[in-house]
Chains A and B, each alone.
Chain A
Amino acid sequence: MTISEYIELLFNDYTLRTISIGTAVLGALCGMLGSFAVLRKQSLLGDAISHAALPGIAIAFLITGTKNSNTLLIGALISGLIGTFWIRGIVKKTHLKSDTALGLILSLFFGFGMLLLTFIQKMPNANQAGLDKYLFGQAATLVENDVWLMCIITGISLLTIALFWKEFKLLLFDADYTKSLGFNTSFLEVLITSLIVISIVIGLQTVGVVLMSAMLLAPAAAARQWTNSLSLMLVLAAIFGGFSGVLGTAISASSNNLSTGPIIVLVAATFVLFSFIFSPGRGLLFRQIRFWKNRKDLELYKTLAFMHTIAETHENISHPHAVKILNNFQGYTKKSLQKLEHLEYVTIKGAMWSLTEKGYQKAKNLYNQQDTVNE
């Protein structure tokens, strides 16, 4: 199937359209809230919550006997919340560290969930199939109602973020200061955590418990590389998340209905990889280029500073000195001398050089500027 065919299908096929809108909305929501998780240094909490949701799904099914996704999601929400609070309890009241608490809840809840799932599979009940999709996600099973739910949750999240934007930003940056200004920080924290938990839970059907956390982290981590503004970061994360969703769904739908979770995650990971390397501000490629350039500049300035110390010994700063003197100096090369002349810091006459007024001032300010210009 070519891209144009797929796009045509997207407009004609009602199911495919529903699914694509659903994954796009989900990706955007997770990207947005994931930015908060990343900045709060709670990246792995999402992983623990999503795994902890599994037994909730199984228990909800055992109790109600329906595959109605909303019922199952309520089960997931409850057990996800229990997991979250238990993690807090372990970290607060015992000496176990947060990484152990996360790993514990993640694996124990998941193991219990798997026990229940295998138990359900063996039950003589024709209705049981389909819980597997919560492991790796199956976007194809999304129906219009699911998409509506996602839209409503996204709407509520957007509204909350817009309403408390100032407070969230303040809290994320400096919690103590937020308290000192009289804001109720526990309220804000509960609000953020609840939004994150809810968004994880509604994503389970599409991405699955195993990989849901990447859906939160990857778009946010990619977005962070392109901007230094929180609002822009959220917007970019939403865009990256949305695109990962749509592209992932497209690839998965066009190749034999592979589970959507892994594919969406790989698309998002590609965004991250690209951002890590190519973002102009922070990316590794440009960082390396800047590093080389700085090292060159530094050598140049070292030479200039050395010339300055020589020139200072003379009353007239532009008094000519022999190039020979520089030979003992390690930063000096013929090329750097030419560069300095090109910048009009020195003039060269034969085997003699002299500092210009401009060069003298530049050298004098070199150390003061180091503070402010070369961070």
Chain B
Amino acid sequence: MSSVQIEIQLIASLVAIACAIPGTFLVLRKMAMISDAISHSILPGIVIGFFLTEDLNSPWLILLAALTGILTVILVEFIQKTGLVKEDTAIGLVFPALFSIGVILIAKNANDVHLDVDAVLLGELAFAPFDRFLFNGIDLGPKSLWIIGTILAITLTLLITFFKELKLSTFDKSLATTLGFSPVVMHYGLMSIASVTTVGAFDAVGAILVVALMIAPSAIAYLLTNNLKKMILIACYFGVFSAITGYWLAHILDASISGAMTTVLGVLFLLVYLFAPNKGLIAVLYRQKRQKTEVYLLTFLLHLQNHKEESERHVQHLNEHINWRTVESKSILSLAKENNMIKIENDIISLTRKGKEFTTEAINYITTNKSTAIEDMKDRFFLFRG
């Protein structure tokens, strides 16, 4: 591995981490699409900033462009408040307009601006190591590394300092307000970080792929854990993993690095989406199937308890009145029998003592809306589960 390769992977990894941290909070706050809006609308800020500073890596340019990002958020919120259009439409109107201005500015000044449309969408990670940060003639490494490193350091400092406040304002806005943490400050603080990070990462991975780096690792982490700290760590881990794997994939295919990083993230998300232990598709489908059987069983037991008359407790009744298909009713019946909840005499079903106890308790839990407690109850009563 040459030093250029190492530097590229280092930059990509830092970008991934810097994006994953604000991304996690955006996903949790249901504002993922705001990152899409910011990443597009900073473009005019970058172009104008470039006219003024003539240096893509100037901190002034970064601040100016980040300001455009925050302006976008304010503009979107203003339009939402007017009630002229529905919430999402406001986002969908603002960013294409600003992005268009950026694209046109670039095209109009193609000769002066060292920016082209491909760079806007994909970034130029491959060239990042060639723009060196020189201090007194000493080579201190690529400029991008310094920029994204600084942003990451700021983000980390803020994250650690305000972790409690961020957590509270994300999960319980009203409590945060009563405790004196202004959600507005937190909101705009987060938006500012997201904007600055987007600008810093823009150079490396381009407008739309910033969105991927913000949302995808966080979404993957969201499917794997319920703990905020773990979620941030997992998101960072998957971000870095995709950065390094993506680099080598791009190397093999001789294609865009950021495109490859996103593709790796896509594959990772697909895998986690399918196989995540609790929240993955397969787990969810399996759980739903089991819950379905359980609800059917409970329904059936409750029915037996409610109806003393024999006509309602005949085996045939299951199909006719409760309106279940034969297969389902048979499996429910055998499940109840296996667990000694019912006994059948001459095709008439009645509850055993265990069945009665279980049903009574179950109803109690459900009518008092404590359906979580029922899980523990099921463990106590069931030997066989459907």
CB-contact partner of B122 in A118, A211, A263, under 8 A = A118
Which chain B positions have C-beta within 8 A of A41?
A: 86-88
Which chain A positions have C-beta within 8 A of B14?
A: none
CB-contact partner of A214 in B27, B30, B35, B96, under 8 A = B96
Cα-based distance from A295 to B261 in the complex (angstroms): 58
Chain B: minimal CB distance from A8 (Å)? 26
Which chain A positions have C-beta within 8 A of B285?
A: 93
Which chain A positions have C-beta within 8 A of B88?
A: 41-44
Task: Tell whether, in the assembled complex, residue B92 and residue A111 are in contact, meaning their CB atoms are under 8 Å apart.
Answer: no
Task: Tell whether, in the assembled complex, residue A96 and residue B93 are in contact, meaning their CB atoms are under 8 Å apart.
Answer: no
Which chain B positions have C-beta within 8 A of A135?
A: 117, 121
The A interface, classified by DSSP as helix, strand, loop or mixed, is: helix
Task: Tell whether, in the assembled complex, residue B216 and residue A266 are in contact, meaning their CB atoms are under 8 Å apart.
Answer: no
Chain B: minimal CB distance from A257 (Å)? 10
Task: Tell whether, in the assembled complex, residue B121 and residue A114 are in contact, meaning their CB atoms are under 8 Å apart.
Answer: yes
Chain B, residues 29-58, CB within 8 Å of chain A (1/0): the string is 011110110000000000000000000000
Chain A: minimal CB distance from B30 (Å)? 5
Given known pairs A102-B32, A107-B208, A259-B103, the reply for A115 and B89 (CB within 8 Å) is no
Which chain A positions have C-beta within 8 A of B104?
A: 258, 262-263, 266
Task: Tell whether, in the assembled complex, residue B273 and residue A217 are in contact, meaning their CB atoms are under 8 Å apart.
Answer: no
Interface centre among A43, A44, A111, A218 (most CB of B within 10 A): A111
Which chain A positions have C-beta within 8 A of B31?
A: 99
Task: Tell whether, in the assembled complex, residue A258 and residue B265 are in contact, meaning their CB atoms are under 8 Å apart.
Answer: no
Smallest CB-CB separation from A276: which chain B residue? B84
Task: Tell whether, in the assembled complex, residue B222 and residue A119 are in contact, meaning their CB atoms are under 8 Å apart.
Answer: no
Chain A: minimal CB distance from B263 (Å)? 5
Q: Does B107 contact A (CB under 8 A)?
A: yes
Chain B, residues 128-167, CB within 8 Å of chain A (1/0): the string is 0000000000000000000000000000000000000000
Chain B: minimal CB distance from A25 (Å)? 21
Task: Tell whether, in the assembled complex, residue A94 and residue B279 are in contact, meaning their CB atoms are under 8 Å apart.
Answer: yes
Chain B: minimal CB distance from A363 (Å)? 32
Which chain A positions have C-beta within 8 A of B36?
A: 47, 103, 106-107
CB-contact partner of B84 in A42, A217, A282, under 8 A = A282
Which chain A positions have C-beta within 8 A of B254?
A: 119, 122
Q: Does A51 contact B (CB under 8 A)?
A: yes
Which chain A positions have C-beta within 8 A of B265?
A: 108, 111
Cα-based distance from A46 to B223 in the complex (angstroms): 25
Task: Tell whether, in the assembled complex, residue B273 and residue A94 are in contact, meaning their CB atoms are under 8 Å apart.
Answer: yes
> A-side interface residues toward B, CB under 8 Å?
38, 41-44, 46-47, 51, 89-90, 93-97, 99-100, 102-104, 106-119, 122, 135-136, 210-211, 213-214, 217-218, 221, 224-225, 258-259, 261-263, 265-266, 269, 272, 276, 282, 284
Given A258-B107, A266-B97, A284-B82, 5 additional A-B pairs, CB 8 A: A93-B284, A94-B281, A99-B33, A106-B211, A211-B99
Q: List 25 A-B contacts (CB under 8 A).
A: A43-B88, A46-B92, A47-B36, A99-B31, A100-B215, A100-B222, A102-B33, A103-B35, A104-B219, A107-B36, A107-B208, A107-B211, A107-B215, A108-B266, A110-B208, A111-B209, A114-B122, A118-B256, A221-B89, A221-B93, A224-B84, A263-B104, A265-B96, A269-B97, A284-B84
